[in-house]
Amino acid sequence: MNGAQALLRSLLASGVDTCFANPGTSEMHFVAALDGVPQMRAVLTLFEGVATGAADGYARMAERPAATLLHLGPGLGNGLANLHNARRAGTPVVNVVGDHATTHAKYDAPLQSDIAAIAGAVSGWVRHGALTAEIGADAAAAVAAARAGQVATLVLPADVSWNDGGEPVTEPLPVAARTPVAPDALRAAADALSSGEPCVLLVGGDATRAAGLAAADRIAAATGARVLAETFPTRLERGAGVARVDRLPYAVDAAVAQLAGSRHLVLAGARSPVSFFAYPGKPSDLVPPGCDVHPLAGREGPLTDGTATAALEELADLLAPGTAPRLAPASRPELPTGPLTVSTAAAVVGALLPEGAVVVDESVTSGLGLPATTAGAPRHDWLTLTGGSIGYGLPTATGAAVACPDRPVWCLQADGSAMYTISALWTHAREGLDITTIIYHNSAYAILRTELMQVGAPQVGAADTGGSRARALLDLGGPELDFVALARGMGVPGVRATTAEELADALRRATAEPGPHLVEAMVPALVP
Ligand SMILES: Cc1ncc(C[n+]2csc(CCOP(=O)(O)OP(=O)(O)O)c2C)c(N)n1
Ligand SMILES: [Mg+2]
């Protein structure tokens, strides 16, 4: 068999059976090999940023990596922003990046570029697959590397693909065993939590799943510590029957206020909190002065390895033996009526979110009310923008829906961010994915209006222009985007909602019918 066939069979033997692809000439043998391996689901995306975001969403839900197939350096580069988000999420992703034949590289043909440099920016593991006989083993090594919670990039030269002599592996390689939490770290955290002094327990990584949250809540109930989740969790389990947790706010002043007065900060799977950006006169390090930080379990490592959860469970058994967590009761807001606003839209979502939903949240400013309105909704998973690189929502929903065909996926998507990777809608339609997308159409990069003021940029209100030239760069109102038309053009039925009743009707219909739907929710920008 040729190298491409061996690579594919090795991916399958290693537990990777889904490939989000945007191929080119150098990947044609891989594409041809897919034909002979029907167990590998190949999903075509029309932009590499959709493929990489889909791989991220897939792995967050399936708890194992998908592969991407990308075309040389430019294809990988197009996928970079969502690989960045995957890296920050600790998501396993295996990139297969086609390259020129090894004999062709010296000619500096048009698509020649420094793939390793591009890959290095986001990958914890990079290998140039130089030999057909070894490409099967390379693929297995890539999967094992990814399963440690990182992006692994395997470069596949065209001749390594097409030459005969490929040797597939038949067994997955072992994944590195997790390192247990050091007894000293456990003792220090226990001492801090039982000190009687104000203490915050910040959970992240695998500890934002139900088991970790349950253990954290038991600790909080017994010690008086406050539990907070990191601002942008990879996968937060929530809703009725799950221990409730609030997230550390994004806005720096609000985050400072949340943490003010704490004497101890225990980190379980979370990084020590820092502000998202630097602002003149505001802190970057959000640990309050005089607060001791106790890392219990680090942020590194795969979502699935359970290190932080196991540490919290050990701590809970120590500090709160025999107790049970307080679980969120079922409760939904009333269905509102009248004009659609950020708050009425949030109430509609809270009232109608279906059982077992996977929520992909890139609602940005329009999502402000959602944590409160959905806290008692039926149990669901909430995926967030882990790396701040926008355009993740529609692609990540794609991957989540491929991973969880039996669960409804709701993609809560701000308009400006939607446009980066809007072509994901075509893949939603082509694959018949059960994704309900709400576009929050506020005709603005609304959050940047706040940021413009927060950074104290001097041109705001300048006498010559009144700041209107700066504001125009944050305005999406002309020409007005038509998301229903965009969706229709890609095979997704869409409808526009201007009232709470229309949004509710559209969401009910979308939930009742299988396949993808889009609702364009016309909401006034939260920041005028
Ligand atoms: C890849 C990338 N490019 C640009 C930005 C800067 N940025 C942050 S938010 C934002 C606009 C968001 O607008 P929208 O999605 O409409 O949400 P809204 O603020 O209106 O709620 C931009 C351009 C970014 N974070 N990531
Ligand atoms: Mg917007």
Backbone angles phi and psi of 245, in degrees to 5: -140, 140
Can you tell me the distance from the alpha carbon of 64 to that of 209, in angstroms, rounded to the nearest whole number?
16
Assess contact for 375 and 229: CB atoms under 8 A: no
Can you tell me the distance from the alpha carbon of 413 to that of 194, in angstroms, rounded to the nearest whole number?
42
Ligand 2 center from residue 389 Cα (angstroms): 15
Greatest CA separation for the chain? 72
For all residues of the chain together, what is the average pLDDT? 95
Q: Is the pLDDT at 466 greater than 70, yes or no?
A: no
Question: For ligand 1, is residue 364 a contact (CB within 6 Å)?
Answer: yes
Instruction: Supply the pLDDT for residue 461.
Output: 52
Contacts of 496 (CB under 8 A, 6+ apart): 483, 484, 502, 519, 520, 522
Q: Is the pLDDT at 276 greater than 60, yes or no?
A: yes
- CB atoms under 10 Å from CB of 211, counted, come to 18
Would you tell me the crossing angle of helices 48-62 and 393-403 to the nearest 10 degrees? 50
Instruction: Supply the pLDDT for residue 305.
Output: 77
Can you tell me the distance from the alpha carbon of 336 to that of 347, in angstroms, rounded to the nearest whole number?
7
DSSP state of 357: -
Instruction: Read off the tokens for 177.
Output: 């065993």
Q: What is the pTM for the complete model shown?
A: 0.97
**Ligand 1: which atom is nearest the Cα of residue 389?**
26
pLDDT digit string (tens) for 230-264?
A: 999 999 999 999 999 999 999 999 999 999 999 99
- How far CA 97 is from CA of 60, 129, 187, 371, 426, in Å, comes to 22, 10, 46, 38, 23
Instruction: Read off the tokens for 389.
Output: 């690189």
Instruction: Read off the tokens for 152.
Output: 């692994």
Instruction: Supply the pLDDT for residue 179.
Output: 76
Can you tell me the distance from the alpha carbon of 386 to that of 286, in angstroms, rounded to the nearest whole number?
18
- CB atoms under 10 Å from CB of 459, counted, come to 12
Question: For ligand 1, is residue 413 a contact (CB within 6 Å)?
Answer: no
The residue type of 157 is: P
Q: Which ligand is nearest to the CA of 365?
A: 1
pLDDT-derived band at 459 (thresholds 50, 70, 90) equals: low
Instruction: Supply the pLDDT for residue 182.
Output: 87
Residue 39 parent element (H or E)? none
pLDDT digit string (tens) for 151-194?
A: 999 999 999 999 999 999 999 998 877 777 889 999 999 999 99
Closest residue to atom 14 of ligand 1, CA basis: 416
Strands 199-203 vs 125-128: parallel, antiparallel or unpaired: unpaired
pLDDT digit string (tens) for 381-391?
A: 999 999 999 99
Question: For ligand 1, is residue 491 a contact (CB within 6 Å)?
Answer: no
Can you tell me the distance from the alpha carbon of 86 to that of 161, in angstroms, rounded to the nearest whole number?
27
Can you tell me the distance from the alpha carbon of 153 to that of 71, in angstroms, rounded to the nearest whole number?
12
Assess contact for 88 and 385: CB atoms under 8 A: no
Q: Is the pLDDT at 458 greater than 70, yes or no?
A: no
Assess contact for 6 and 36: CB atoms under 8 A: no
Ligand 1 center from residue 397 Cα (angstroms): 18
Closest residue to atom 11 of ligand 1, CA basis: 445
The residue type of 152 is: A
Task: Give the bridge partners for 164, in sequence order.
Answer: 2
Assess contact for 57 and 409: CB atoms under 8 A: no
pLDDT digit string (tens) for 10-34?
A: 999 999 999 999 999 999 999 999 9
**Cα-atom radius of gyration of the chain, to the nearest Å?**
24
Question: For ligand 1, is residue 481 a contact (CB within 6 Å)?
Answer: no
Can you tell me the distance from the alpha carbon of 352 to that of 5, in angstroms, rounded to the nearest whole number?
46
pLDDT digit string (tens) for 337-364?
A: 999 999 999 999 999 999 999 999 999 9
**Ligand 1: which atom is nearest the Cα of residue 525?**
20
Question: For ligand 1, is residue 524 a contact (CB within 6 Å)?
Answer: no
Question: For ligand 1, is residue 49 a contact (CB within 6 Å)?
Answer: no
Instruction: Supply the pLDDT for residue 513.
Output: 96
Contacts of 269 (CB under 8 A, 6+ apart): 203, 204, 205, 206, 207, 208, 212, 297, 298, 299, 307, 308, 309
DSSP state of 179: P
Ligand 1 center from residue 405 Cα (angstroms): 29
Instruction: Supply the pLDDT for residue 452.
Output: 87
Instruction: Supply the pLDDT for residue 468.
Output: 81
Residue 296 parent element (H or E)? strand 292-297
Spell out the domains of the chain, with CATH numbers in brackets.
Answer: 3-162 (3.40.50.970), 183-319 (3.40.50.1220), 342-443+481-522 (3.40.50.970)
- Out of 364, 366, 392, 471, give the residue to mutate to test ligand 1, the one with the largest number of ligand atoms within 8 Å of its CB: 364
pLDDT digit string (tens) for 293-319?
A: 999 987 666 666 788 999 999 999 999
**Ligand 1: which atom is nearest the Cα of residue 390?**
26
Strands 380-383 vs 236-238: parallel, antiparallel or unpaired: antiparallel
Ligand 1 center from residue 276 Cα (angstroms): 14
- Out of 48, 277, 362, 447, give the residue to mutate to test ligand 1, the one with the largest number of ligand atoms within 8 Å of its CB: 447
pLDDT digit string (tens) for 38-96?
A: 999 999 999 999 999 999 999 999 999 999 999 999 999 999 999 999 999 999 999 99
Instruction: Supply the pLDDT for residue 196.
Output: 95
Ligand 1 center from residue 384 Cα (angstroms): 14
Give the E-state strand segments of 33-109 in sequence order: 41-44, 67-71, 93-99
Instruction: Supply the pLDDT for residue 162.
Output: 97
Give the E-state strand segments of 320-419 in sequence order: 358-362, 380-383, 409-414
pLDDT digit string (tens) for 211-237?
A: 999 999 999 999 999 999 999 999 999
